[in-house]
Structure 1
Amino acid sequence: MCGANRDLFQFCHKHDKRIEIRYFKDGKSSIAGVYLDDECFGSGRAENKDIAKLIAVKEALRKLAEVMPIDMVIDEDSVEIYLEDAKRKLFEICSKQKWPKPIYSVEEEGGPVNRKGFVCSV
């Protein structure tokens, strides 16, 4: 299970939320929806069902982080794993599509030294 999926499932278990991933097809696209207690928290669309799910899970985590402290949503220790998993998945997509390798750059840095934040682009 990838970092984002694990974090979302851990959050749901910790906060007694019922999670359901629903899938739909729209032509060649797969659509995944993340529902917590029957409320849609994230959706994703991609040709690949797993990519659609990953997009939906990331959106759900982002929305949860907006309404509660981030450490209640994801463990700080799992952030690195989560980022590495996302980078690996992006590399796989680029390779499969015969696109160039992703190039990463730091656009902004900010915050206190012990909680430095970064804005990066690919």
Structure 2
Amino acid sequence: MDELIKEIKANHEFRKGEGWEQTLLVEDIDVLIQQVEKVPKLEKTCTEYLHSSKYLLQQKEELEREAHTQNAKNKRLEQENQRCKETLKFYANEINYHVFIENGKSNIEHDGGKRARQNLKGEYL
């Protein structure tokens, strides 16, 4: 269709240059009318695409914020998990039950569950 419009335009310019009073043929006008009639539908389609694009952009931004929040939460949970593992390693290490420190108690007796309580409260050594 673009080629047909270019041809109509070229013929119009030629006829105008030749001094014709009527530069457009009836067939040319029919083609142009058909093209003009398509404009409202195309405008509506463009408007719908614009609204869809805005909605999708809002959804993308919301998902990015949610992903950021989840990533931060995951990082905190990973850190908490690591601290819990360290506490469990302390209690699981048999040496801590047998090695005595200067006051005559094992590391476990000396600790008295302090590490576990602090870990449960969210306080870490």
TM-score normalised according to structure 1 size: 0.25
Question: More helix per residue: 1 or 2?
Answer: 2
Q: Which has the higher contact order (CA 8 A, sep 6+)?
A: 1
Whose Rg is larger? 2
TM-score normalised according to structure 2 size: 0.25
Question: More strand per residue: 1 or 2?
Answer: 1
